[in-house]
Structure 1
Amino acid sequence: MTRPHPSHARPLLLGLALLLAGTAVLLHSGTTAPRPGSARAGAPSAAAHPAPPAAPASRPAPHADGQSTATPRDRPTQTGPAGSPAADLDQVPGDQPVSGDGPAGDYAIQQLLDRTTPTDLPPATARRLTELATRIWTAETTGTGRTQWPGYFTPDPLRAPYHDVRVQAAVAHQHGRSAGCAEVRLVWAGADAAGEFRDGRTARVLLELHHNEWRPIR
């Protein structure tokens, strides 16, 4: 025989049924309707694919030949002073030693002249002519010793003589087609009447063979 349920069990069963029904509704709504702001199904996530890092700043491209474009520094230009007592001043070749080396640089200047404009005369003759031209040029610039060549120098005293004159280098060549005529190119240094000292000046002395003796000519 079936035993009847107590009367107080009915409200309990009704509440349990309502609780189960509400839970089912909540579960159903959570699986079918997306929450606001949620990502669309199948769309890639921004967090899963972060933006690539910024490219580093590019450096300036080096020069095509890898060399500096700075202009190399120019050598000082050697010139003769205005009103110097010898006409026909020329420029020494541009690769001469830098001005201001003093007597220590004379050997380098001589080597430069011998290399760029070598003598075409026999060594003994070339040496004799350069020594003679050195004495003549010293008389030309300082006034001392001019009496040795009376036909070359005027008797008037030199108005603005140089002092501390030094011939730094010299080279002799045959002048023209005549074997009895020569030219000596000189590089010299000295101080003018105002006391300004310069080196690297250039000049020339013409010489002519007369009765087996070399004499200066204008």
Structure 2
Amino acid sequence: MTTSSPRSPRLLLTATVVLAVAGLVLLALPHEPSAPPSSTPPPAAAPASRRSAASPTEGPVESGAPAAATPTEPAGASALPPHGEGIAGDRAIQQALEAAWPADLAAQDERQLLAAGRDLLGADATGIGRAKWPAVFGDPDQAVAPAFASSRFRIQAAIARRDDRDDRAVVHLVWAGADRGGTYTDGRITDLHFTRTTSKKGASTWTPQPRT
């Protein structure tokens, strides 16, 4: 019977050294703690930062709460010019009036009312042309002195519209002027009311109503 030769002590020493080195290498490597298993799915990625204000070209604000409703404005009713804007702001005031009160009179009636309303307001404010309206101002020699200087009086905008009935109308006027003390103010508002009268020949005219 044959017997195996005993292992060489050198071979055993070499194996021991190799195993020891391998163990040191493994100990030196960094280890990450393993995460415990979980059945909950990972959270979704956080949304990108949201804008604090919206711009017409960028779309509405993104937020968790509903945005406040913005009241709609009539077409053309843009922001009115600030006081003291001068003639440059008159067009915006005229457009705002026309947008707020759509036309409801025949073109001929509207022209007649606007002309009468402008003349009447000018006569009342400056005293010029009061003789044309004796029913309103009475005797020109007994009239009250004008409150505004004619050189600094200006009608900024005006429209004429129906006033409840077909035979009544009102002229809305926005104007500017300097009083006798020199104080200049624009954006003044005056409403003049008119009644349609018809002559025996069928011609109709608009007569101003007495101011109360």
Shared fold by TM > 0.5?
A: yes
- Which of 150, 157, 179 in structure 1 is aligned with 2:134? 150
What amino acid does structure 2 have at the position aligned with 1:176? Answer: D
With normalisation by structure 1, the TM-score equals: 0.55
Contact 1:118 1:171 survives alignment (8 Å): no
- Cα-to-partner distance string for 1:77-132 (whole Å, 9 max, x where unaligned): xxxxxxxxxxxxxxxx9932111121121111111110111221122321221121
- Which of 182, 185, 192 in structure 2 is aligned with 1:205? 192
SS of match in other structure, 1:180:
strand
Rg larger for: 1
Structure 1 Cα separation of the partners of residues 188 and 146 of structure 2: 17
Q: Equivalent residues in 2 for 1:1-218 (5 A)? A: 66-67=52-53, 95-155=79-139, 156-163=142-149, 164-177=152-165, 179-211=166-198, 212-218=204-210
What amino acid does structure 2 have at the position aligned with 1:107? Answer: R
SS of match in other structure, 1:106:
helix
User: Stretches of 4+ moved more than 4 A in 1?
Assistant: none
- Cα-to-partner distance string for 1:15-70 (whole Å, 9 max, x where unaligned): xxxxxxxxxxxxxxxxxxxxxxxxxxxxxxxxxxxxxxxxxxxxxxxxx9724xxx
SS of match in other structure, 1:112:
helix
Structure 1 Cα separation of the partners of residues 92 and 52 of structure 2: 34
Output the aligned Cα RMSD.
2.3
Give, in angstroms, the shift of residue 161 of structure 1: 1.9
The number of aligned residues is 131
SS of match in other structure, 1:158:
coil
Higher relative contact order (CA 8 A, sep 6+): 1
- Cα-to-partner distance string for 1:183-217 (whole Å, 9 max, x where unaligned): 01000000001011111110111111223121211
What amino acid does structure 1 have at the position aligned with 2:180? Answer: A
Percent of aligned pairs with the same residue?
A: 35
Corresponding position of 1:86? none
What amino acid does structure 2 have at the position aligned with 1:161? Answer: A
Give, in angstroms, the shift of residue 160 of structure 1: 4.7
